[in-house]
């Protein structure tokens, strides 16, 4: 299982930009050409991102219904991309890494942090 990651947090404007970038990357990725039935197709993913974008634009004026739409759409789109990420992690191999990086995914460092241990002073 490849340790893939996506940036799915932050301000709405940055997240929307990232989501569109991930979507265009998915469209070029051969691993996601025929997703299983539980995952949405590329057209549905694009539609969900568009709804999120519309909610974001409408919510700028303080329209409460648009703000609620934006929040709901954000949760939905982030959930979709988390599911896509899990799917790609399970089927991707080492040979797919260049294509995944080109599509906007990044590879998590599998090694943990190295901690500096201070040796006790000799007395």
DSSP annotation string for 44-59: HHHHHHHHHHHHHHHH
- Tokens 């799915």, residue? 8
Report if residue 116 sits inside a domain.
no
CA 103 to chain centre: 11
Q: Please, which pLDDT band fits residue 61 given cuts at 50, 70 and 90?
A: confident
Report if residue 60 sits inside a domain.
yes
Report if residue 87 sits inside a domain.
yes
Report if residue 10 sits inside a domain.
yes
Report if residue 76 sits inside a domain.
yes
pLDDT at residue 111 greater than cutoff 60 = no
Strand partners, 106: 5
**Of 44 and 62, the one with more pLDDT:** 44
Q: How far apart are CA 27 and CA 78, in angstroms?
A: 18
Report if residue 12 sits inside a domain.
yes
Report if residue 20 sits inside a domain.
yes
Q: How far apart are CA 60 and CA 56, in angstroms?
A: 6
Rounded to two decimals, the pTM is 0.81
Domain count, the chain: 1
């Amino acid at each position: 299982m490849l340790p893939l990651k996506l940036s799915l947090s932050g301000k709405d404007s940055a997240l929307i930009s990232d989501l569109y970038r991930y979507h265009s990357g998915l469209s070029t990725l051969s691993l996601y050409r025929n997703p299983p039935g539980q995952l949405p197709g590329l057209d549905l993913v694009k539609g969900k991102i568009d709804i999120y974008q519309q909610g974001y634009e409408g919510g700028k004026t303080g329209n409460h219904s648009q703000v609620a739409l934006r929040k709901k759409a954000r949760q939905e789109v982030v959930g979709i991309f988390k599911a896509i990420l899990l799917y790609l992690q399970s089927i991707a191999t080492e040979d797919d890494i260049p294509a995944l990086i080109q599509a906007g995914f990044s590879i998590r460092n599998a090694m943990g942090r190295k901690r500096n241990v201070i040796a006790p002073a000799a007395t």
